[in-house]
Amino acid sequence: MEVQNKPEQSETIPDSNPIAVAPAEAARLAGIGRTSLYSALATGELKSFHYGRRRLIRISALETWLATLEKSEAG
């Protein structure tokens, strides 16, 4: 009987970017504080959704929100 070694994690999970992240990770990616991010969620400026007990933010929603902030700063 041949014993197979478990593959390294990097071999089984491809390097890919997530399509949704938790608020703490979204704040880190955006370079802002969690309080600012939660404020944008509370006002509806930044869209999120729940999956079970977890709140997730689509990366596309985060990018859209940041672009909106950038446009409001420019003009």
* pLDDT tens column, 19-70: 999 999 999 999 999 999 999 999 999 999 999 999 999 999 999 999 999 9
User: And the tokens for 57?
Assistant: 């933010």
Q: For position 36, what pLDDT does the model report?
A: 97
List b or e across 42-70, with b for residues whose CB sees 16 or more CB atoms inside 10 angstroms.
eeeebebeeeeeeebbbeebbeebeeeee
